[in-house]
Amino acid sequence: MFIVVSKWAPDPAKADEWEAVSEGIPAKFRAIPGIEFMHRFINEEGHVVVMMGYTDKAAYDSLVTDPNGAVAKDMAERNIEAYATWVSSERGETFD
C-alpha cells in the first residue's frame, strides 16, 4: 500500500468557504477505485492533516500526479488552493 500524509493550512479568513468546498471529499474519494482509505483531522497547529492509502504507487500516480486523474481533477475543480495552502506531504510504501 502507498500512503500519503499531507498537511494543509486553511485560510482563517475563508473558513466558511473551506468548509463548504471540502465537504463531501472523504466519501467521494473513498469510493474511487485504487483508494483504500482517507482520514483527516485538525492538528494542534490548526492544520488539516489528510491521510490517504492507495493500493500502490501506480494508483497514486494515476489518481493524483496525472492532472487528468480523478483526485487531481476534483481538487482542481474545487479550487482547494484558493482556501488553504499546502504545507507538506510525506509519501511511501508500507512495510512489515
pLDDT at 26: 93
Counting the structural domains of the chain, the total is 1
CB 1 within 8 A of CB 56: yes
- For residue 33, the enclosing domain spans 2-93
Span 46-84, pLDDT tens digits: 999 999 999 999 999 999 999 999 999 999 999 999 999
Span 19-51, pLDDT tens digits: 899 999 999 999 999 999 999 999 999 999 999
Q: In what order do the strands lie in the sheet with 48-54?
A: 35-42, 48-54, 2-10, 84-93
Q: How far is CA 58 from CA 7, 20, 49, 66, in A?
A: 22, 30, 23, 10
The torsion angle over the Cα atoms of residues 53, 94, 4 and 30, rounded to 10 degrees, is 0
The rounded mean pLDDT for the chain is 95
Assign residue 41 the CATH number of its domain.
Answer: 3.30.70.100
pLDDT at 96: 83
